[in-house]
Structures are given as structure tokens and as C-alpha cells.
A and B are shown apart, each in its own frame.
Chain A
Amino acid sequence: MNKTAVIIKREYITRVRKKSFIIMTILAPILMAALIILPTVLMMSDRDKDFKKIAVIEDGSDLFKNVIPNTNDAEFVYLEDVNVNDLKETFEEAGYYGILYISPEVINIPNAIQLISKKQPPIGLLDHISGSLEKEIEKQKLLAYNIEDLDSILKSIRTNVDIQTIKIDDSGQAKETSTGIAMILAYLGGFLMYMLVFIFGSQVMRGVIEEKTSRVVEVIVSSVKPVQLMLGKIIGIALVGLTQFMIWVILTVGAVAFVKGTVLKESGITEITQNIPQNIMSENNMTVNAEETVEALSPEMEEFSKMFESALNQDWLLIIFSFIFYFITGYFLYASVFAAIGSAVDNETETQQFMLPVTIPIILGLMVAVGTMQNPESSLSFWFSIIPLTSPIVMIARIPFGVPLWQIILSMALMVITFLAFVWMAAKIYRTGILMYGKKTSWKELWKWLKYSG
């Protein structure tokens, strides 16, 4: 077997078998899933705890009977023939959170509505009540004009503004894209690069330090070339990272699906959605509400399908290709620098002085990548996506917004050159560094090592 392959195999197997790896690989998706699910669960338990029953009392009319739809955390009970002042004394014992009192003049005097409660009602609840009432009052007022087919007119004039962005490429072809999708992609891509480079890069560094401090390294370089050992370690760790990453994605998706599918189904979410139509059905005079529910859902669905469509319109081939390209070159570039740093020191605390200059371009890259999402065409984004040290992060963030081909080619060409140069230099430093003990290494020293002959 090829010796580099033997090294890759060892790096991979010893890491994958480590307890910490197994624990992290299993725990992280559970934590991730918990992060995703917890808000839903919290919301549900909130609902049970803070569920509010509100008595609705109208003075002398029944205009607003069952106008206010129930929500996840509030139920509106329409009471007839009840005196407000009587109820004021007893509503709490009767299990009500508050009394919504609507006076008959409300059509003309919009603030003739009171919500009486012991506690400050939440904004959401107030918005919900006022929104429902406003609509009803508008409708009542319109009704007063005796317009024919009012319902269908109302339906036809309801408008939702949603700007569609059309990107025209050089050939004049128009494509519907979504800035939202581009931003998500840009952010995910840029951040993923940053994480991968940092986490795996520093693992490479720790691996090199381990070999150096355990003094096993001299035995090994008497069998293989130092550069083989370095590359073997870098590749092995990349494979470990990819394995972990893949398991994470699968487990997280699985865990979320499992919890949403079983646990939540039994105790809640579906129940809520089922509740609404039931309420609607049981009451008459609720046609408007029913329509509202349907319409409230459909724009979301529409938007989602549009997002999906425009996601399909993204140049996935280019995105995936460039992500893989920048990941490989960027990872090798930084990992080899990390390996060189690891070789130059005797323990991890000594790495500080060399870490800063390596960290700066990565952090800068991430910052510019975030800025790129606001303005992908800025000259800052342009230059940082061309300069090799930051281009893996920034270019990845720019590509979903569309980048001229010559820029991509220039950036990639520079990246290849720089990556080869860095691996070569790192290998030279590494070769000398791994066999140097007990001397505190300076930048000047590193420069000298670069110039040593084989």
C-alpha cells in the first residue's frame, strides 16, 4: 500500500474511534435538533400555561358575534345577556383572563372597546383583537353602502405586495431568483468554509504537536518523507471531518423529523391546526374567517414554492463545483499553514504568536462575506474574493448572487498558485520544525528554515 495511504488510514481510524469523536458525533445532532425543536415545544407549553379565555361582551347588539377567531393561545367566548359590571367582579373565578367589552358606538367611535383584565395583556393579543375588529368594522361600513357582490369585490381587491427579482444574464435570458435564497446560500457557504477551515486546521496543528511532543515523528520520517506525513495527516483529518459532518446532517434531519413526526403529533401541533377548521365549521357566520385562514396560509405556501423555484434556478453546478474547489484548496492552504505552525512549537500555548496572522484573514474573510450579502458588487467584496487568503470564504458568498466568469477564473487561478506555494513553504518549515526541540521559534527562525536545503 502506498505510504501516504497508510498514514491517512491511521489518522482516520484513530480519530474516528476516539470516544470524544463518537460522543460529539452523537451529541451534536441531538443538541442541534433540540435547538430546532425547543422553540416549538416552549411555545406549546406556553400555550398551555398562558392560555387565555376571554369573554366578549357586546352592549346591545350582536354585530361582532364570533368575529374574533381563536388563536393558539387565546379563546374568545361570546357571552350574551351578561352585564359587564357584574362580570368584572367574577370573571377571574369563572376562568376568564379578561373581558373584551365592545360598545355599540364602536362603528363610529373606534376606541369604544375595552379589554378588562388583571394583568397587562400581551401586544400580540391586542393586535389580534384590533385587527379582527378593524376588518369587521370596515366590512360593516362598506355594507352600509349596499354594494352588490361585496364579498367577491373585497376578495378581488385584497393585495399582497411581494417583489420578484429577475436576474438577466449576458445572453439576455431572464431568470427568476430570490435574494433570500442567495443570502442563505451565501451565508451558509461562507460560514461553513470558515468553520471547516478553522476546526480541521487546528486539529491538524494539534496532531502535529502531538507527534512532535511524543517524539514519534523522527521514527516516522525515517520511513516516509515529511511531506507525505504532513499531507497524510491533512487528508486524513479532512476525511474525519467530512464523515462527522455527514453523520451530523443525517442525524439532525432524522432527529427533527422523528420528533416532529411522533412526539409533537401526539401532543400538539397537528391538534392546533385541526382545531381551527373545527371551530370554523361549528359556527355559522364564519365564512370570512374561513377564507382568511386559507388565505393566510396560501401566500406563505406560494412564497415557499417560489423560493423553491428560484432555488432551482440557481446555478447549482457552479455553486457546488466552486464550493468543492474552494474547500479543497482553502482547506489545504490553511491546514498546511497550521501544520507548519504545529511543527515550529513545542506545545500548544506557544502557538499563539503564529496563530494571529493566520486568524486575521479568516476573520476578515468572514466579515466581508457577511457584508457581501448586503452588497455583493462592492469593491471590497470584489477584492476579497480575488485575494487568495480570503477568496475561499468571500467568493463562495458572492457566487449565489452571480459573478462574472472572468472573476471566478482569476480568483481560482490565484488560489491554485497560492495554495501550491503555501503547501510547498509549509512543507519546508514543517520538515525542519518537527525535528527542532527546546528552542523558542521566532519568525526570523521560520524564514531561515524556509531557505534550508533538503
Chain B
Amino acid sequence: MVEQSKQGQPKLTVRVELAPVESGEAVILCPSGRVDGSTVGILDVAVQERIDTGVGILIFDFEETTYISSAGLRVLLMSARKMQSEGGKAVFCGLLPHIAEVFEISGFSAILDIRANRADALESV
């Protein structure tokens, strides 16, 4: 399932980066574009692939995420829960103000580890 924008660009791509941290290596997922009900499957697959390979630290960098609906929030909640149950850690960072508002209303700020930016996120793990 690949939803295209009217310019023919994919509405959502998820870039995967690696960064060394004190406890080893962190996997950073960078969703670029819109996470809505029609694209959320792309994020879900990217996350599952990483969790299945036994990643210990998963960082979601939302700097390039312009939109997220409850369909996306659901995937994030499930991912954080799965990481926790497998003894790993999920950290979320780079939220644009309107995305941060959505996290806040949803009550995610209390249960997810949210950092201002990638540098802060990397330092926290």
C-alpha cells in the first residue's frame, strides 16, 4: 500500500538511521510526511521490522512529520508497549508544535518518553 500525493511523491516515507549511544546502538526511525489512516501501514511495517530484529533502543524522530492522526498514535502506543515488554526502550523526539498538541491531548506525554530533539533523545538513552 503506497499512497501518493498529487505531486506523485509518496505521502509518507520512513528513513532508518543508526546512532551510537552509551549502551550500544540506537535505531532512529524518521517518518517524513503524513501519518494518516491511509499511510500508517508504512510506519507500522517499519517499526515491526525493527522490533522483530531485537532492537534495544528505538528513537522516533518526528522532525519531518507534518501530520499524525489517531491511526498513527495507535501504532506509536503499541510500539512503546512492545519495546517495554521486550526490555527495550522507545524515545520520541522532534515533535512540531501541532503534533505535540495532539500528543498532549491524547495523554501520551505522561506515558511516553518525549524529548525536544534528537540530541536530547540520544543523550537520554
On whether the two chains bind one another, the answer is: no
